Amino acid sequence: MATRPETAKKLLLYWMDASMALMFLMYASWGVLMAVRGEMPPLRTALVILLLTGFFVTFPVLMRRAFEHRPKPPPLLLVSGACAAALVPLLPHSSDLTTTWVDASLLWVALAALYLRPWPTALLAVTVVLILSSYVILSSYVAVSWQVWPGVLAVEAFNCTIMVLGMLVWRWLWWVIRDAHKSREARARLAVAEERLRFARDLHDLLGRSLSVITLKSELAAKLATKDAGRAAAEMAMVRRLAGRSLFEVQQAVHDYRTLDLEEELAGVRTALEAAGASCVIETRLDDLSPDARTLLAWAVREGGTNVLKHSAATRCAIRIDGGVLEMVNDGVGERPATPPTPGNGLRGLSERLVTAGGSFSAEPTPDGEFLLRAAVPA
C-alpha cells in the first residue's frame, strides 16, 4: 500500500502531466488548423509539431528530476530551452498581439526555476520577457506603434511570474507533505527511543549497585573458602539475599511498565493522531471496568494507535469502549491486498495477552474499506 506522501506526489505529478498533455494537444491542433487554412506551410507545420513534441516530452522528465531537491541544471534543460526558443519564430502571431504561441518559452523559464537560485531565475525571466515582448511587436504584420510595448511587456511579465510561482509552489507543496511525514516518523522513533532509555536507566538504577555488591561478595567468599569456611558461607548467604531482592525489584519494575492508565493512553493516542493530521473521536464507558480490564484495554489502545500511525494513511479514527469491548476504526486501509497481511509482532503479542486473560482480539479490513481493531476483555 502506497504511503500518503507517495500518493500525494503522484497526484501532483500526474496533474502536471495532464496539464502539459492538454497544452500540447491544444498547440498541435492549432498548428494543424493553421496548415489546413493555408496560413502555415505543411513542412513548417511538421517542424512545429516536432519541436512541440520535443519540448513537452522533456518537460515532465526535467520536472521529476527537480521535484525532490534542486539539482544542477542538466544538458537536457538546454535542449528543452532550444525547442521552446525555436518555436517562437516558426509560429505566426495574430494582429491583436496575443502571445499564446510564446507561452512555451515562459513555461521553460518556470521549469528552469526548479534548477536555479532565485536571483539567476529572476535574471533569466527578465531577459526572456524583454526579448519576447519586443519580438511580439516586431513580428506583428500590422503596423503597431511602440507605444503598446509597455502593455505587451506587462502581460508577458505577469504570465511569466504566475508560471514561475506556480511551479515553485507546486514543488513546495510536495516538500511540505514529505517533511510532515518524515517528522511524524521521527516522533514515533523518538518516543520508542525515549522509552528504551527510560527502561535502561531504571534497570541500571535497580541492578547496578546490587550487582556490584554481589560481585565483590562473591570474590570475597571465593578467597575465604579455604581460610574461613564459616565467614565464606555468611558472605554467600548475603549474596543470595541481594540476588533475591534484586530479582524482586526487577519484577516490580516490569509490573509497573505493564500497568498502563487507560485515560492517559486515550489522550495520548488522540494527541498523536491529531498531530499527524488525522481526526480522532473517542466514546467511552469505563465505570464498570476492573483495573485489570482497564490495563488490557490500555495496551490495546496503545498498540492500535501505533499501528494507525506507522502503517496507515488514515485521516480519521474512531475509538469506542463499551462493556469491556474496544473498537478502533480508521479509514487508512487503502487498497485491499490480494493476500491477507501478516500481523506484526505488536499485534500478535497483544492478541496473545488478551486471549491469555480470557478475552478476544481481531484486526482486519472491513467491507466498507476501513480497518477495524476489536479487543474484548472480561469486564
Read off the pLDDT of residues 33-91 as tens digits, 9 standing for 90 and up: 888 888 788 888 889 889 989 999 998 889 888 877 788 889 999 999 999 888 888 87
Q: What is the pLDDT of residue 210?
A: 67
Residue 345 has pLDDT above 60, yes or no: no
Q: Which percentage of the chain shows pLDDT scores above 90? A: 11
Confidence of residue 122 (pLDDT cuts 50, 70, 90): very high
- Is the pLDDT at 346 greater than 70? The verdict is no
Q: What is the mean pLDDT of residues 21-34?
A: 84
Poorest-pLDDT segment among 142-146, 172-176, 265-269:
142-146
| pLDDT at position 15 over 90 | no
* pLDDT for 374: 92
pLDDT tens string 239-294: 777 777 777 767 666 655 556 678 888 888 888 777 667 888 999 888 788 888 88
Query: What is the SS3 assignment for 374?
Result: strand
pLDDT on residue 140? 60
Q: Sheet holding 371-376: strands in order across?
A: 279-285, 316-322, 325-330, 371-376, 360-365
Domain boundaries, the chain: 4-180, 186-256, 262-376
The pLDDT mean for the chain works out to: 78
Exposed, middle or buried: residue 366 (CB in 10 Å: 0-12, 13-18, 19+)?
exposed
Provide the pLDDT for residue 368. 83
- Per-residue pLDDT averaged across 125-134, rounded? 86
* Lowest mean per-residue pLDDT among 39-48, 123-132, 201-210: 201-210
CA distances to 271, 306, 377 from 311, rounded to whole Å, are: 17, 8, 25
Between 147 and 176, the more confident residue is: 176
Helix, strand, coil percentages (3-state) for the chain, rounded to 5, are 70, 10, 20
Cα distance between residue 169 and residue 219, in whole Å: 71
The DSSP annotation for 105-126 comes to: HHHHHHHHTTTS-HHHHHHHHH
Per-residue model confidence (pLDDT) at position 328: 92
**pTM (two decimals):** 0.50
What CATH class is the domain 262-376? alpha beta
Query: Measured between alpha carbons, how far is 32 from 43 in angstroms, rounded to an integer?
Result: 11
State the residue for C-alpha cell 498523536: 272
d(CA 122, CA 114) in angstroms, rounded, equals 12
R_g of the chain, CA atoms, integer Å: 35
What is the number of residues in the chain? 379
At CB < 8 A and 24+ separation, what contacts does 76-80 make? 77/111, 77/112, 77/115, 79/54, 80/54, 80/55, 80/108, 80/111
What is the mean predicted confidence (pLDDT) over 221-235?
A: 77
Question: What band does 175 get if pLDDT is binned at 50, 70 and 90?
Answer: confident
Question: CATH says 186-256 is which class?
Answer: mainly alpha
pLDDT-based confidence at residue 319 (cuts at 50, 70, 90): very high
Check residues 246 and 233 and name the one with the higher pLDDT: 233
Confidence of residue 375 (pLDDT cuts 50, 70, 90): very high
What does the pLDDT read at residue 109? 92
Q: Is the pLDDT of residue 151 over 80?
A: no
At residue 141, the pLDDT reads 45
Higher pLDDT, 1 or 49: 49
